[in-house]
Structure 1
Amino acid sequence: MSVRPYRDIYRRECRQIHVGSVPIGGGAPIAVQTMTNTLTSDVEATIAQVRAAEAAGADIVRVSCPDEDSTKALKHIVRATEVPIVADIHFHHKRAIEAAEAGAACLRINPGNIGSAERVRDVVRAAKDHGCSMRIGVNAGSLEKDLLEKYGEPCPEAMVESALDHARILEDNDFFEFKISVKASDVFLAVAAYQGLAEACDYPLHLGITEAGGMIGGTVKSSIGLGMLLWSGIGDTIRVSLSADPVEEVRVGFDILKSLGLRHRGVQIISCPSCARQAFPVIKTVEVLEQRLAHITTPMSLSIIGCVVNGPGEARETDIGLTGGSRGRSHKVYVGGIADHNIDDDKLVDHIVSMVEEKAAAIEAAKEAEKADAA
């Protein structure tokens, strides 16, 4: 019996595949993905962007492979990075084969769009030979003509039918190591399509609201759409599509998962919007703390509240808490929910950073000791 049943999320049961070393579906943690926006043929720039995404916590990174120069570069990119690389392929079956040979962990491809049955067999053979999984990626903006004629417009039923048609092609070729996405820029359309697909198959689902927009608008749209699906247990891997740095996509993705208790990475800051009661500059303090604590990967909670109205209550629920006391003077620091000591304005940020770093180090040391004992 759950202590807080209102917080329970029961994830949809599905088969499990692998993207490189990362398990997808079958109860595995929900993976966070992003995509590079450099020219893939620019090896140095693309490697730098992949590494930045890795440092931000990305589980998987996708790169576009529109031409032979890109698939040639892919070999060097895969060797120079740790995270599994997905090769984004459209129409050209030779690019898919080249990407598999270059070391891609997964091919994002729609088998129905690459030509003859023989071409599909060649791609499947390359995927099997090189240990590649695949993602069938249906997009409302590029549905097949026959489905648009049948349904009149992009709709959930058309997107699900498209996904299942592509899946059937892979199944007929005895290939089942794939996940599916049915993305749309319209939140209602995307959510309804994913709900229909979740009922129609047991493959892992990659979630996304495609072309969501800029940093703020795209984050809001993605949080609504992905949040609805994840809350209902649908989704095994996600990408937040933003017109922004790929690192921001990773951060937003983790924040969505952390808000739902589905992934825990880094410091989750609970902070107030501030008001006339604030005893220290909350907004600036949080902004600086987010920057200075970005390197912490250990799951931890930190509350930064400007006054005593909600501060003590929020601090009771976090690992470390700060509550404003006298304006411009001393403030209360909580440890494990209990009032511990006071701190002055001029030492506030450095002190909190030091406390978080020390606690993270202690948590990691305890984990290592536990592993050593188990061995």
Structure 2
Amino acid sequence: MIIRRQTHKIMVGSVPVGGGAPIAVQSMTNTDTAKVSETVAQIKRLEAAGCDIVRVAVLDLEAATAIKAIQDQISIPLIADIHFDYRLAIASMENGADCIRINPGNLGGEEKTKQVVEAARMHKVSIRVGVNSGSIEKDLLKKHGYPSPENTTALIESALRNVRLVEKYGLTDIKISIKSSDVLTTISSYQQISKAIDYPLHLGVTEAGGLIAGTVKSSVALGILLSQGIGDTLRISLTRDPVEEIRVGFELLRSLKIRERGPELISCPTCGRTKIDLFGLAEEVERFVQTMVSPLKVAVMGCVVNGPGEAKQADIGVAGGNGVGIIFKKGKIWKKVDENELMAVFMAELKKMDKEALNNC
């Protein structure tokens, strides 16, 4: 059983972070924030996938101003991602951002940071102090060296220095991230800072890579930390459609039995007994279950011989044969169907069971 680290609770819009609240799964849009319709459309897709909090890049005043129109059309809290220009942080909050992500060290000095913090207090907005290994202050790098698994001092000290600056001007609605592109440095950094503060921690491996490399690196780092009770919110950073980040995030939480959303999909890796297009079948089922909320266990198996037995705990499953397939429930055959009708019959029954499960919740 995982015992989570106790942290100070903050609010990001309507979503609690820390203090024992469910671990929030986040993503970030890759649209031009100033293009409201495109940004809203992507956020809607993220919402459908279960995204709890979304972050948008604010590169200029047009993007900061667009936040108001975006907020009017979405249902989840929005974080404005700010670098270098303190005025964009203030403008984002004036236009309805629920939280801002800043690195106070690159806002242009203490006086400008003070103005940002005072605006956050006035608008009741929380702040994420985000420090990356690539954006550490020069004096800390000179003093401590570049972060490594054995030496995370520069990262930790940068985060704490910036947190103390925000605290100095009266704001404690803070969450912290200290990301690195190196898995072991990320793990060590979060382990160390979790002993130093009780603020909620946002987990992530920065610049993790594409679908496979990014998923592996993020799952290793975040899986280890989460298993140790560290982390209150997370993002799986992928060079990919941001919806994929949400899918991986929830699968990671499900694998550790921390949080579940929607069905669990079981599928076999295929072997020489497989006589149907299992890859295509699994992909179509996977696309549909992403839209489901009910906690069904769904199986897609390659052969009739082993399908129901290997996946006997599944609420519903499908297994292929030579020109035919079977649909089974809890390990027992429910219906045998011709291959060309298998998907349609299976999906119809899956939708029916999903609706019944939701009605019984």
TM-score by length of 2: 0.93
Distance 1:14 1:289, change over 3 A: same
Alignment of 1:272-351 (within 5 A): 272-307=268-303, 310-324=306-320, 326-331=321-326, 333-351=327-345
Alpha-carbon offset, residue 337 of structure 1:
4.4
When structure 1 is superposed on structure 2, of 209-218 and 341-350 the one drifting more is: 341-350
Alpha-carbon offset, residue 304 of structure 1:
1.6
Structure-2 separation of matches of 1:254 and 1:14: 21
Distance 1:263 1:281, change over 3 A: same
Q: Find out whether 1:233 has 2:229 as its counterpart.
A: yes
Partner of 2:90: 97
Q: Secondary structure at the match of 2:16?
A: strand
Alpha-carbon offset, residue 266 of structure 1:
2.4
Partner of 1:359: 353
Q: Secondary structure at the match of 2:257?
A: coil
RMSD value, Cα: 1.9
Alpha-carbon offset, residue 263 of structure 1:
2.3
User: Which 5+ residue runs of structure 2 have no aligned equivalent?
Assistant: none
Partner of 1:74: 67
Q: Among residues 43, 49, 63, which one is paired with 2:42 in the alignment?
A: 49
Q: Secondary structure at the match of 1:34?
A: strand
Structure-2 separation of matches of 1:261 and 1:342: 34
Structure-1 separation of matches of 2:242 and 2:218: 15
Q: Among residues 246, 253, 258, which one is paired with 1:250 in the alignment?
A: 246
Partner of 1:372: none
CA offsets 1:11-32 (integer angstroms, 9 cap, x no match): 2221111110011111211111
CA offsets 1:46-98 (integer angstroms, 9 cap, x no match): 22222222222211111111221211112211222221110011122211111
User: Which 5+ residue runs of structure 1 have no aligned equivalent?
Assistant: 1-7, 368-375
Structure-2 separation of matches of 1:357 and 1:110: 46
CA contact (8 A) 2:67 2:92 kept: yes
CA contact (8 A) 1:53 1:250 kept: yes
Q: Counterpart of 2:299 in structure 1: which amino acid?
A: S
Partner of 1:84: 77
CA offsets 1:263-321 (integer angstroms, 9 cap, x no match): 22223211111011224332221012122333222222111222366533432222212
Partner of 1:22: 15
Structure-2 separation of matches of 1:50 and 1:79: 12
When structure 1 is superposed on structure 2, of 333-342 and 229-238 the one drifting more is: 333-342
Structure-2 separation of matches of 1:231 and 1:309: 36
Q: Find out whether 1:125 has 2:121 as its counterpart.
A: no
Q: Among residues 36, 52, 64, which one is paired with 2:57 in the alignment?
A: 64
Distance 1:329 1:40, change over 3 A: closer
Q: Counterpart of 1:219 in structure 2: which amino acid?
A: T
Aligned residues: 358
CA contact (8 A) 2:278 2:302 kept: yes
Alpha-carbon offset, residue 110 of structure 1:
2.1
Structure-2 separation of matches of 1:227 and 1:280: 34
Q: Find out whether 1:149 has 2:145 as its counterpart.
A: no
Alignment of 1:255-270 (within 5 A): 255-270=251-266
Distance 1:108 1:351, change over 3 A: same
Q: Among residues 195, 203, 216, which one is paired with 1:199 in the alignment?
A: 195
When structure 1 is superposed on structure 2, of 36-45 and 138-147 the one drifting more is: 36-45
Q: Counterpart of 2:69 in structure 1: which amino acid?
A: H
Q: Among residues 152, 164, 168, which one is paired with 2:160 in the alignment?
A: 164
Q: Among residues 130, 137, 155, which one is paired with 2:130 in the alignment?
A: 137
Q: Counterpart of 2:251 in structure 1: which amino acid?
A: D
Distance 1:347 1:9, change over 3 A: farther
CA offsets 1:106-126 (integer angstroms, 9 cap, x no match): 010123332343333321221
